[in-house]
Amino acid sequence: MRASRFVILALCILLLPIRSFAVAQDDRMDQDDAVILSEAVGVGGVEESSSIDMQEYLFGHIADAYDWHITTVNGHHVSIPLPVILIDGGLHVFSSEKLAHGAVYDGYRVATEGEPSAGKIVRASDGTRPLDISITKNVCGLLIDSVLLVVLILLCARWYRRHDVLKEAPTGIAGLFEPLIVMIEQDVIKDAVGPEYQKFSPYLLTAFFFILINNLMGIVPFFPGGANITGNIAVTMAMAVFTFLAVNLFGNKHYWKEILWPDVPLFLKAIPIMPVIEIIGMFTKPFSLMIRLFANMLAGHIMLLSTIAVIFLTVKLGPAINGSLSVISVLFGIFLDVLELLVAFIQAYVFTMLSSVFIGLAHPQHETH
């Protein structure tokens, strides 16, 4: 029973990157299509400027930004300006509105396409980057999602503080979260980490819910959702680093012995082949965590955006093709949205499970042979 569950999960983990590659290819095809379409349309003599720019469209949605773009009404951008915070020989704080449309403010501007740090704030004089800790779209999304999560979980914890758990069944928010928490703690953390699981379960549960809420909010297409947070490599990198620290700071001496002086023939560790491989393994494990979450969530966003883009790309092909493709696109979009709900959960689950397994591997029980 348990073994079969792990096999299924392992299959999911193996298959998801394949899916994301396929999506990446689809994405490329969509872009090519867009180019071909716009060229065809251009040859046909229709105005080029009204054609959708796939590059800008996709990156505008999945990349980080200094303001939170909500919609465009009649060519006018409706967006929430966010604070820019720069440390460059002193603190510079101003609204991102000041830098709109390539404006220079306080000696800074947003680098244009073609520059090494395109889309980032640079010094207007030489195009180099100051230390930039602006509240970007992703930081703002992270803050909103985190506040939401903190409120939810602390309300849930408050229920347990206020009620006698031996006399009452959990209701409301506690009833919503308890099955999830129990499932993650008992079936994932306890099984994978081993007897010392209670020390690690706060971190692993926090990681699970943190990823889950950011994944789910990423699917919501409008403010305060829609920021591609877990599909950003900086976010997944931070998560992976936390897991790396949890694994290596608390690993016991058997773990370090297995890395530095493993149970293999002497010639494999005298010329340190095995220790080197093991040390590389220490870093590849969190690296795979980082890439897996990043690639899957990014792929999900690109897939959804590409599906929706079909509606706008086919406008020039006439009402019949555009109408029928729009119906298909909407139906496929619904399917993808539901799939993304599943992926949002699976990726949070997989990250937690693999982190638990890595922590468990760092606590080998000394077996007596």
Partner 1 sequence: MSLITPDFGLLFWMVLIFGAVFFLFAKFGFPVITKAVRQRSEHIEQSLRAAEEARLSLERFAEDQNRLIEQTKVERAEILKAASDERNALLAKAQEDASAEAAKILRNAREEIAAEQELARRELRSELSALSVAVAEKIVRKELDNADGQKQLLDKYVEEAVQSQVN
Q: Which residues bind partner 1 (CB under 8 A)?
A: 62-64, 85, 117-120, 131-136, 138-139, 142-143, 146, 149-150, 153-154, 156-157, 160-161, 165-166, 174, 177-178, 181-182, 185, 198, 201-203, 205-206, 209-210, 232-235, 237-239, 241-242, 298
Which C-beta is closer to partner 1: that of 10 or that of 133?
A: 133
Cis peptide upstream of residue 130 (ω within 30 degrees of 0)? no
* Position 318, amino acid: G
What is the nearest approach in angstroms of partner 1 to the Cβ of residue 276?
26
Phi, psi of 91 (to 5 degrees): -90, 125
Q: For partner 1, give the closer residue by CB, 12 or 173.
A: 173
Nearest approach in angstroms of CB 300 to partner 1 is: 14
Taking CA 117 as the corner, what is the angle to CA 114 and CA 118, rounded to the nearest 5 degrees? 50
What's the CA gap between 97 and 119, in Å, rounded?
Answer: 14
* 238 vs 271, beta carbon nearer partner 1: 238
Cβ-based nearer residue to partner 1, 26 or 258: 26
Least separation in angstroms between CB 125 and partner 1: 21
CA distance 244 to 239: 9
CB of 301 to partner 1, least distance (A): 11
Nearer to partner 1 among residue 51 and residue 347 (C-beta)? 347
Find the DSSP H helices in the chain.
2-43, 54-62, 137-162, 172-182, 190-193, 197-219, 233-249, 253-260, 266-270, 273-313, 319-361
Find residue 132's DSSP bridge partners: 86
**Phi and psi of 123, rounded to 5°?**
-70, 135
Q: What are phi and psi of 353, to 5 degrees?
A: -65, -45
Least distance in Å: CB of 51 to partner 1? 24
| Cβ proximity to partner 1, 24 vs 341, nearer residue | 24
Beta carbon of residue 323, minimum distance to partner 1 (angstroms, whole number) = 34
